[in-house]
Structure 1
Amino acid sequence: MADLYADRLFNAMERMAPEPGMLLVAAPGMLSGDFTRSVIMIIEHSPQMTFGVNLTARSELAVFNVMPDWLPAVAKPQALYIGGPLNQQSVAGLAVTKNGVNIDDHPQLNRLANRLAHVDLRSKPEEVAELVEGMRLFAGYAEWTPGQLEEEIEFGDWFVTPALPSDVIAPGRVDLWGDVMRRQQMPLPLFSTFPADLGEN
């Protein structure tokens, strides 16, 4: 099943190179339980490694219970998200800056794309809150060794596309994977309702 969708869908699309601030969109029918219908924001991509966080996996744990000082900066729903299967004791922050904020002027923020930043969580939360429209906190991350991600993209496991600021702080009711698929070129919108479990179809 995975080979079918890889060959006929993502491998037929024009490819973009992965880089910080881009999204990795999981192929329909991806067999990995960790990444089914996932949308990964790339935070770092270098010859040494690639890592990012999954924007779609909200936990039942409230930010108030684990990192309450950051609550004023966190967008609703104010839950901790599961960034990936690795090192879930560590937390990464992504933010959407307010209009007019120059990310490069603020050492608390590392630019990923237009209005998108990786937050230095060693910063004072109140300073960050003044700069951002909202942010998310992610426990854990996804990581690829040198060449691994390129192989998976070549196989058709991932589609690479630019992120929008709204992707990071999307409301809890939003099906982010479906929304990202719908804004791509045809035929990807046709697969936007592809279920996580084929038994649901």
Structure 2
Amino acid sequence: MVTLSPGILLIADPFLKDPNFARTVILLCEHKDKGSFGFVINKLFDQSLDNLVPEVLLSNIPVYYGGPVQMDTIHFVHQQPELITGGLEILPGTYWGGKFDSVVAALNNGLLNLDKIKFFIGYSGWTDGQLEGEVKDKSWILSNTDAAIIFEPKEQQIWQQSLKNLGSTFAMMANFPIDPSLN
């Protein structure tokens, strides 16, 4: 049984109607008594990192919509602790955050492997007990994960693949229509 903890995935139920979270997969980075925090990993934002952070010299680095909270903040998850210090390990070898100045410097000097870092604008957050209530109401399907799905470059496949990874019962859900009343 998967429990709420850092490093697990929250996979949106196929019939979740909330426009912020329909067909999304969230990487949970923190879960404490006071609340929870994570990032939508499969919803590409409409601007690249250099458009949002002028200090970044490389163009076309994708940014993902982390969630509807504090859309004026940039966050990141990575697998490069030797270059980015100060991160919190949420899965073996996968870290949330770190010193942003070192990220910008490493990007501008061509030192970061862009396949091992993912940027987010905003985040998804829940107050004390809110996420537990949503899980109880079956808005979310909980899943253990490995880093491969987090850093998957084809974001449009992450939701379906996350369901398929849970086995045949959930794999069938991956093909449910968005609105069954239209069938």
TM-score range, shorter chain: 0.7 to 0.9
Alignment counterpart, residue 53 of structure 2, candidates 63, 67, 91 = 67
Alignment counterpart, residue 86 of structure 1, candidates 63, 66, 69 = 69
Going from structure 1 to structure 2, the CA distance change for 1:173 and 1:151 (only over 3 Å counts) comes to closer
CA contact (8 A) 2:11 2:141 kept: yes
Aligned to 1:157: 139
Deviates more, 1:169-178 or 1:27-36: 169-178
CA contact (8 A) 2:43 2:65 kept: yes
CA contact (8 A) 2:69 2:123 kept: yes
Q: Superposition pairs for residues 98-177 of structure 1, below 5 Å?
A: 103=81, 107-125=85-103, 126-127=105-106, 130=111, 133-172=115-154, 174-177=156-159
Aligned residues: 179
Distance 2:89 2:150 in 1: 14
TM-score by length of 2: 0.84
Aligned AA (1:29): F
Identity %: 22
Aligned to 1:33: 19
Going from structure 1 to structure 2, the CA distance change for 1:70 and 1:200 (only over 3 Å counts) comes to farther
Alignment counterpart, residue 180 of structure 1, candidates 156, 162, 176 = 162
Alignment counterpart, residue 35 of structure 2, candidates 30, 37, 49 = 49
Deviations 1:138-184 (A, max 9, x none): 11111111111111111111111112212222123641000010110
Deviations 1:23-80 (A, max 9, x none): 10111111211111110001111001101110111022122222355576x9xx7222
TM-score by length of 1: 0.77
SS in 2 for 1:87: strand
CA contact (8 A) 2:83 2:102 kept: no
Distance 1:104 1:121 in 2: 12
Distance 2:49 2:112 in 1: 19
SS in 2 for 1:150: helix
Give the alignment's Cα RMSD to 1 decimal: 2.6
Distance 1:200 1:116 in 2: 41
Alignment counterpart, residue 44 of structure 2, candidates 58, 81, 85 = 58
Aligned AA (1:150): E
Structure 1: runs of 5+ lacking an equivalent:
1-14, 98-102
